[in-house]
Amino acid sequence: MSVQCIPYSSPRSAFVEAIERDGCVIVSDFTNDSTLEEARKEVQPYLDTQDTNSTVGALNGGTKTCTRLVGRSKTVREKFFSDPVYQDMVRHFLNRTTTNWMGDDAETNTCPPLLSIGITMDTRPGSAAQRLHRDDKNHHARHVAAEKYAPDRDMLFGMFVPGCDTFRANGATRIVPGSHLWGDDKPDFSTPSGGKFGKVVDAELKKGEAFMMLGSLYHGAGEYSMKDGNRMVHIMFCCSGSYRQEEISYLSYPVEDVKQYSDVVQERLGWRQSEPNLGWVDLKSPEFLLA
């Protein structure tokens, strides 16, 4: 099964149908060379200041990163993250609408999604392939096998915007179309397409395209087997807005006060990273900000 590639100008229903079927879609004509160059210029200074490559989570030491991406790159923020097609898909898959009773009155409310992560990954020669994984593992999401996609199944939705062509030799993302419908049993990625489990394929992208996927899709960057060059990809994921505290503790309690709190209180206020890889700042557990 190959990844569907749909022109940016297509009806929104075409993207929804592709994502519900495969768990992902390639969007052609998403951006252009000049916009990608502006984004590169904005993130390059942060990549250049890194002395070592990241080994956090699925990263294995062959990748430089620019965290805080939505704040550090105006182009990524306004052209990619704010893009109408991406945000329409985010709302479609991650909005949560429920009706609750307040006495005899029914109240219906919709919780909008939130940015979960914005990061540029710049992969270099020697980077090994990532293990295939689901990104919603960070939120400890559980999955029930299904024949057909149902609303509210996912809590994470992402987009990858490459700054260059991506292909097998420079580590294009490997994906398993249809794996968003799997349960939580151990997968067998060697089974040919059409069996119980799916086939691993390369999500090769042309410069100017974007790749959108659900957080429940099995995927992983491929091996960078070339001897030179790099593969820069701007990545942004949103999560369902209900995955947050009722009170925003990071704004309610001044950092200088939090420094005096006990370890257990600091942890309950969110100043400890949850494994794997949830609640970090610059890929580090945030207690370093309390030192």
Q: Give percent above pLDDT 70 in the chain.
A: 93
Q: How many domains does the chain have?
A: 2
Q: What is the mean pLDDT of residues 57-70?
A: 79
Residue 23 to residues 45, 48, 108, 120, 277, Cα–Cα distance (Å): 34, 34, 29, 22, 22
The pLDDT value recorded for residue 61 is: 63
pLDDT at residue 56 is higher than 80: no
Q: Which residues span the domain enclosing 127?
A: 5-244
Please state, for a pLDDT cut of 90, what percent of the chain lies above it.
77
**CATH number where 34 lies:** 2.60.120.620
Distances from the Cα of 94 to the Cα of 27, 99, 100, 222, angstroms? 19, 16, 19, 28
Same domain, 260 and 195: no
Q: Tell which residue, 69, 53, 235, has the closest CA to residue 127.
A: 53
Give the model's pLDDT for residue 278: 84
Verify that 22 and 152 share a domain, yes or no. Answer: yes
Can you give the pLDDT at residue 196? 46
114 pLDDT more than 50 = yes
HEC-encoded secondary structure of 18-29 = HHHHHCEEEEEC
Q: What pLDDT does residue 258 have?
A: 93
Q: Which residue has the higher pLDDT, 235 or 50?
A: 235
Same-domain status, 143 and 283: no
109, 207: one domain: yes
> In this model, does residue 243 exceed pLDDT 80?
yes
Residue matched to tokens 């990061």: 119
236 or 287, greater pLDDT:
236
Are residues 157 and 286 located together in one domain of the fold?
Answer: no
What is the rounded average pLDDT of the residues 31-44? 98
- Tell me: pLDDT of 171 over 60: yes
Residue 256 main-chain phi, psi, to 5 deg: -65, -30
* 231 pLDDT above the threshold of 80: yes
C-alpha neighbours within 13 Å on the C-beta side of residue 282: 9
Instruction: Based on the fold, state whether residues 205 and 116 are members of the same structural domain.
Output: yes
Helix, strand, or coil (residue 250): helix
CA dihedral 198→202→207→210, nearest 10 degrees, is 20
Of 127, 137, 278, residue with least CA distance to 217: 137
Q: Quick one: average pLDDT of 190-207?
A: 74
pLDDT of residue 54: 55
- Give me 274's structure tokens: 């949850």
Nearest one of 116, 92, 83 to 18, comparing CA atoms? 92
Q: Are residues 116 and 256 in the same domain?
A: no
Is residue 223 within 8 A of residue 129, CB to CB? The reply is yes
Q: Does residue 272 share a domain with residue 136?
A: no
Number of residues that this document lists for the chain: 291
Cβ 223 vs Cβ 229: under 8 Å: no
CA 4 to chain centre: 19
Instruction: Please report which confidence band the pLDDT of residue 58 belongs to, taking 50, 70 and 90 as the band edges.
Output: low
Q: What is residue 145's three-state secondary structure?
A: coil
My answer on whether 250 and 234 are in the same domain is no
Q: Are residues 284 and 153 in the same domain?
A: no
- pLDDT for the residue numbered 195: 45
Question: Which is more confident, 149 or 276?
Answer: 149
Is 179:23 a contact under the CB 8 Å cutoff? yes
pTM, entire model:
0.90
Q: What is the pLDDT of residue 189?
A: 83
- Is the same domain home to 176 and 59? yes
Say if residue 96 is in the same domain as residue 189. Answer: yes
Q: What is the mean pLDDT of the chain?
A: 92
Return d(Cα 228, Cα 224) in angstroms, integer: 9
